A and B are shown apart, each in its own frame.
Chain A
Amino acid sequence: MTEIPVYELAAAALVAIGLRGLIVRRGLIRRILAVNIAGAGVFLLLVALAARAQDPGPDPVPHAMVLTGIVVAVSATSLAVAIARRLAELTGGSDLPDDDGEDVV
């Protein structure tokens, strides 16, 4: 295979972008999205590697794992959003306090 594996490389970039966003963003909604993007990168890597074998067709096992992963991801995301909204209701904001306690509500 002489082609450039563009989807595999994009998957690596998504994981890194998601992880960076998780670290540098303070807003909880943005952090939830960051985890989802990193997860999407993992899914993309699995499926892109599964698509390499063309003879009897792509590998269905990673496909099933990604389907499972998508449902787990949306479950965790919903719970995270519910908790973030509860926090906003209690504190009036949707970002976390500073580690040094400056921002503690």
Chain B
Amino acid sequence: MPTDAVLDAVLAAALVWVAWRVLTVAEDAAAAVLFIVLGLLMALVWARLAAPDIALAEAAIGAGVTGALVLDAVGHLGGGSDGRARSVGRRVVVVATVLCAALAGGIGWAVLRLPPDAPGLAAAVARVIPDTGATNPVTAVLLDLRAYDTFLELGVLLLAAIAALAVRRTVDLRDVEPDARDDLLLSALTRLGVPVMVLVGGYLLWAGTQAPGGAFQAGAVLAGAAILVLVAGGRGVVALPAGPLRVGLASGFAAFLVVAWVLLVAGRRLLDLIPDVAEATIVGVEVAVTVAVGVGLAALFAAARQPADVER
């Protein structure tokens, strides 16, 4: 027990220290790398807190996709230092620091006063699990009990992708120039890594209804593979013509919409899955969500990457 407590204390302290450094270190590039470290530390913390589904998603999305995105942006923006010349006035810094410390104190005080053994909804979820078509409680909540949240989340992903393409002023990612770098190690790693990532993505999708994993983690790993291909000089997802790209982006949202519509027509409430076919519904929706998350995150990365070559 004491070793557990020491590990937790060290992890928590490391989180706070790395987060502080992300926002105080001089170079943007160093901040991006520290942010990836923070994501990996978070993944460890999720594992310590018995949240393996989130640990997988954090490692793939928080550390992986977000890290790659920010690091890539820093590389293209010149990696300027966010030094003193560009910081706000000293008075603002002091006031902000005091107010934020007060905020941290307030949240900490509220947390310490919470009852230590609040029951939460775990028992309620466990009671209805047999009717949901998934045995992994997190998947049951995501795709059945609170499917509405997930539906709208895919709407957010779709909107972000549409907006990012709009900022680029094109719907076609085929004009993204692949990196013309001649890097033996990177291309060898990509050849080794991408098939494994595709395999892992497929496993996560398949395992998600019974075990930790699921559509988001699977989609994120596939997006990671697509990003790796793009960074290593290949084309991958950006080779998709505009039509299939749009279908891929919209697939998750569209699948949910179809399910919601069919259930409404059948006289049930919105996204109130029919228990007998809930498992098949969940698996079908998960496949579409995997495609949407994979294509969506890869397209967001590619769209952020290449400056629009259209006249300003």
Interface positions of A (Cβ within 8 A of B)? 1, 3-21, 23-27, 29-30, 32-34, 36-37, 40, 43-45, 47-53, 56-68, 70-79, 81-86, 88-90, 93-95
Contacts and interface: CB of A to CB of B under 8 A. Distances in A.
Nearest to A17: B19
B116 A1 contact: yes
Interface string B45-77: 110111101100110011001100110011011
A50 B19 contact: no
A56 B104 contact: no
Chain B CB within 10 Å, residue with most, of A40, A65, A70, A89: A70
30 contacts: A7-B12, A12-B108, A13-B16, A13-B108, A14-B16, A16-B107, A17-B19, A19-B100, A20-B97, A25-B82, A26-B87, A27-B28, A33-B35, A37-B35, A45-B111, A50-B49, A50-B120, A53-B117, A53-B119, A53-B122, A58-B120, A64-B149, A67-B53, A67-B142, A72-B156, A74-B297, A78-B69, A81-B70, A93-B80, A95-B82
Contacts of A63: 51, 53-54, 138, 141
3 closest A-B pairs (Cβ-Cβ)?
A59-B120, A21-B23, A16-B104
Contacts of B141: 60-61, 63-64
Interface string B124-157: 0110000000000110111001100110010011
Interface in B150-205: 150, 153, 156-157, 159-161, 163-164, 167-168
A80 B305 CA distance: 12
A78 B160 CA distance: 8
Interface SS of A by simple majority = helix
B32 interface: yes
A89 B97 CA distance: 32
A8 to B, nearest CB: 4
Given A32-B70, A56-B122, A24 B62 contact: no
A78 B116 contact: no
Contacts of B23: 17-18, 20-21, 25, 30, 33-34, 37
B51 A50 contact: yes
Given A75-B159, A82-B167, 12 more contacts: A16-B101, A24-B96, A27-B80, A37-B35, A45-B107, A49-B111, A49-B118, A50-B120, A52-B118, A70-B62, A75-B156, A78-B160
Contact of A24 (B20, B87, B304, B308): B87
A85 B116 contact: no
